[in-house]
Each structure stands twice: as C-alpha cells, then as structure tokens.
Amino acid sequence: QVQLVESGGGLVQAGVSLRLSCTASGGSFENFAMAWFRQAPGKEREFVAAINSYDSSTYTADSVKGRFTISKDNPKLTAYLQMNSLKPEDTAVYYCARRFYRATTDKKDYSFWGQGTQVTVSA
C-alpha cells in the first residue's frame, strides 16, 4: 500500500519561509491530485491548497493565498507546500493527502493521508 510521508516542519519565527514535502512510497503519482490540509489544536482540519493531476491547476485557501504555493514533481513522487511570510496563526499539524485525478477542497474526498508534520510559528 502506498504511503505518504510529510517532512519539513519545524519551529520558526514569524515572517520566515518553510517548504513542506510529501513523498509517496511508490506506485503511480502522476494520476493523483495532491492536497495539503492543516489542523490546529482544538480546531477542525481545514483545507490549505490542492493541485490537479491533469493540468496542474491549483486551489488555495483565502487565508494563505499569496503566501502559500502548492506544486508537485511527478518523477520525484513528491508534492510541496512553499510557505512564505509565516504567521503565528499558521501554527498547526500539516497533512498531505491524495485522490485520483481531480483536486477538491473537501477533506472527505481524500482517502490517503500522511501522518502529518508540525509547523509552529512564534511571534
């Protein structure tokens, strides 16, 4: 079974950048849309960004638009989330997920998830 493994999280100060990676353990990658969600303590898991498999169209939550960018590198079986100008309210566990073909913003549509990586932004 394919696994998704996130990396790149950490403790940073507000204003800096981080790049998260999500690498699949194997199998087909180019036919899958990828997404990032995040969950802060006591809150629901929320959509951050997603990218289609077939045309690389991207979708970004209003709360991170202009600061976060999703991309994917099919030969490397890896999706990325570039996070710039980080704010304390970006603090959360970040999860990557995948679904076949078309990206959506609803977490219920994604059946494969990584274990998450913690991002903590101090003021």
Q: What is the pLDDT of residues 75-121, one digit of tens each?
A: 999 999 999 999 999 999 999 999 999 999 999 999 999 999 999 99
Residue 12: burial class (beta carbons within 10 Å; 0-12, 13-18, 19+): middle
What does the pLDDT average to over 27-34? 88
**pLDDT the model gives residue 1:** 77
* Ranges assigned E (strand) in the chain: 4-7, 10-13, 18-24, 32-39, 46-51, 58-60, 68-73, 78-83, 92-100, 112-113, 117-122
Mean pLDDT of 14-38: 93
**Longest Cα pair distance anywhere in the chain, in angstroms?**
41
**What value does the mean pLDDT take over residues 67-79?**
95
**Span 59-84, average pLDDT:** 97
The pLDDT value given to residue 110: 96
Instruction: Record the tokens describing residue 29, joined without a space.
Output: 């990658």
Question: Which of 103, 116, 98 has the alpha carbon at shortest distance from 45?
Answer: 116
pLDDT at 56: 85
Mean pLDDT of 14-36: 93
Residue 29 is predicted with a pLDDT of 87
